[in-house]
């Protein structure tokens, strides 16, 4: 069984999922897996989103840098294809997972972009060599 958290009209909801078929009906923002089986991992790895933050959104980025940080549901928005994305990002991509590689204590997702959108023109947030940078300083 998986505990999935979905975003509906800007609100976060928890649901229990017991099969791949049941997961197909929801678009989770995140999935709570404790010692997942390879089959359970494959259920959640079908689609993912990439949000490009502006240089003015360092605070949003820092929320994801801390393991136990509270992530308020109002920072998410549902993408055109149903993938959760970060609100007010300058660009976003919704991707179909092609391959997942193990990378130490992380997984690296290789995806095929199914939808891409630039929502505003601004400088992107950049994290390089252990600190936040502005693109014109590199």
User: What 3 state SS string does the chain have?
Assistant: CEEEEEEECCEEEEEEECCHHHHCCCCEEEEECCCCCHHHHHHHCCEEEEEECECCCHHHHHHHHCCCCCCCHHHEEECCCCCEEECCCCEEEEEEEEEEEEECCEEEEEEEEEEEEECCCCCECEEECCEEECHHHC
- What CATH superfamily classification does 45-138 receive? Electron Transport, Fmn-binding Protein; Chain A (2.30.110.10)
Q: pLDDT tens, 32-82?
A: 555 566 666 665 567 888 999 999 999 999 988 877 778 888 888 888 887
pLDDT of 32? 56
Which of 18-22, 32-36, 38-42, 110-114 comes out lowest in average pLDDT? Answer: 32-36
The answer to whether residue 88 scores a pLDDT higher than 90 is: yes
Domain assignments of the chain as residue spans, ordered by start: 1-44, 45-138
- At residue 138 the predicted structure's pLDDT band, cuts being 50, 70 and 90, is very low
């Amino acid at each position: 069984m998986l505990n999935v958290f979905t975003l509906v009209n800007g609100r976060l909801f928890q649901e229990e999922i017991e099969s791949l078929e049941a997961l197909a009906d929801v678009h989770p923002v995140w999935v709570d897996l404790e010692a997942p089986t390879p089959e359970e991992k494959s259920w959640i790895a079908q689609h993912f989103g990439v949000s490009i933050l502006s240089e003015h959104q360092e605070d949003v980025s820092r929320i994801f840098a801390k393991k136990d940080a509270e992530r308020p549901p109002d920072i998410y928005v549902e993408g055109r294809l149903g993938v959760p994305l970060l609100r007010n990002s300058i660009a976003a991509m919704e991707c179909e997972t092609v391959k997942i590689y193990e990378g130490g204590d992380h997984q690296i997702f290789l995806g095929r972009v199914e939808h891409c959108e630039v929502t505003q023109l601004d400088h992107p947030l950049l994290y390089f060599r252990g600190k936040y940078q502005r693109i014109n300083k590199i």
